[in-house]
């Protein structure tokens, strides 16, 4: 079974992103402002540098514990 991840953008701070397994985003923190669905992807979190997600282990741990993971869109993407 392949995991499906849903990516949301914060409407108050457009550089703040969230990923969750919930398409509706019901577990996202409400004190951060409103969350807008952006994209979904299937598979694993590793290699999701297109979203600026650089720490998949931390993201997996947060998804398991809180049901979501927050991170900031990087100012620039560095070459690997």
The full set of domain ranges for the chain reads: 4-72
Distance CA 12, CA 66 (A): 21
Give me the mean pLDDT over the 37-58 stretch: 80
Q: For domain 4-72, is the CATH number 3.30.70?
A: no
Distance CA 5, CA 19 (A): 6
Q: What is the pTM of this model?
A: 0.83
- The kind and range of the H/E element at 6 are strand 4-10
User: What single-letter DSSP state applies at residue 61?
Assistant: H
The sign of the dihedral angle between the CA atoms of 52, 57, 62, 63 is positive
Task: Give residues with Cβ within 8 angstroms of 79, minimum separation 6.
Answer: none
pLDDT digits (tens, 9 = 90+) for 3-41: 899 999 999 999 999 999 999 999 999 998 899 999 998
């Amino acid at each position: 079974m392949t995991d499906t991840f849903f990516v949301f953008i914060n409407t108050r701070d457009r550089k703040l992103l969230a990923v969750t397994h919930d398409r509706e985003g019901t577990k996202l923190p409400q004190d951060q402002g409103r969350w807008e669905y952006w994209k979904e992807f299937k598979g694993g979190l590793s290699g999701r540098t297109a979203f600026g997600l650089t720490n998949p282990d931390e993201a997996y741990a947060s998804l398991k514990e809180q049901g979501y993971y927050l991170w900031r869109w990087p100012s620039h993407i560095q070459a690997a």
